[in-house]
Amino acid sequence: MNEKLISEYYHFTELYDRLIYRKKIGIQKNFTIQELKIKINNLSNIYNKKKGQMVFADGNPKSNLMIIGEAPGANEEKFQRPFVGEAGKLLDKMLSAINLNRDSVYITNVINYRPPDNRKPTSDEINLFLPYLKEHIQLINPKLILLLGSTALEAFFNKEYTITKIRGTWLKIKIKNKVFNCLPSFHPAFLLRQPEQKKQSWTDLQIIRDSLKEI
Ligand code: URA
């Protein structure tokens, strides 16, 4: 085969893209996210779930902003995508208010399976998923993290803070010598129940918007 034919063959079979892609941005990263998914899939026995019921993440893995919620609900489990129910619709509106959307942020939850009866995850369950969440953060390597609600706050700070008191204040999460800046704020499901708190949430969203501009 001459060089031209070899080159055509590479382009035709997409081998070229795969090799170049691997070289430039490191397929290793995608591969490791895959590995993380496999590990989390193996936790499905915790709630007696089928492996296919895992809700991993949504959005752009290259985003500067990683959003962490609590756990999937029935809709999320059905569509295997975080925040697609009523709380998700509100989250989309909140993001859109600061000119963000699903393609410009990365969204996941502390717990990747829907807890029985949609109950709040226990501290033991949070701690069980925490090492995987930390690995997830390291892989995404976001500049900022938005912690939505008390479960996401508890995952990193135990019961040191309450969401009502600490929301809107930058905190630091250290994972293997790397410090991540995170902002706790109200969970959209809470805002649906207490819409009068949306004012505070808007203040937090503006902090996120302004901080993203400075990156
Ligand atoms: N609430 C969450 O915390 N996460 C979801 O994915 C949906 C609702």
Domains in the chain (CATH in brackets) are 26-213 (3.40.470.10)
Q: What is the pLDDT of residue 28?
A: 53
CA 117–ligand 1 middle distance (angstroms): 14
Mean pLDDT of the chain: 90
- Tell me the best of 109, 185, 187 to mutate to test the pocket of ligand 1, counting ligand atoms within 8 Å of each CB and taking the most: 109
Higher per-residue confidence, 46 vs 15: 46
Q: What is the pLDDT of residue 1?
A: 53
- Structure confidence by residue, pLDDT tens digits, 112-124: 999 999 999 999 9
Which of 152, 15, 3, 129 shows the shortest CA–CA distance to 70? 152
Would you say residue 188 has pLDDT above 50?
Answer: yes
Beta strand 144-148 with 65-69: parallel, antiparallel or unpaired? parallel
CA 164–ligand 1 middle distance (angstroms): 19
User: What string of DSSP letters covers 141-170?
Assistant: --SEEEEEHHHHHHHHHTTS--HHHHTTS-
- Structure confidence by residue, pLDDT tens digits, 126-140: 999 999 999 999 999
d(CA 26, CA 22): 5
CA 109–ligand 1 middle distance (angstroms): 7
Would you say residue 29 has pLDDT above 90?
Answer: no
- Tell me the best of 56, 76, 80 to mutate to test the pocket of ligand 1, counting ligand atoms within 8 Å of each CB and taking the most: 76
pTM of the full structure: 0.87
- Structure confidence by residue, pLDDT tens digits, 69-121: 999 999 999 999 999 999 999 999 999 999 999 999 999 999 999 999 999 99
CA 110–ligand 1 middle distance (angstroms): 9
CA 79–ligand 1 middle distance (angstroms): 12
CA 81–ligand 1 middle distance (angstroms): 9
pLDDT band at 7 (very low <50, low <70, confident <90, very high): low
d(CA 163, CA 190): 11
Pocket of ligand 1, beta carbon within 6 A:
69-73, 76, 82-83, 85, 87-88, 109, 189
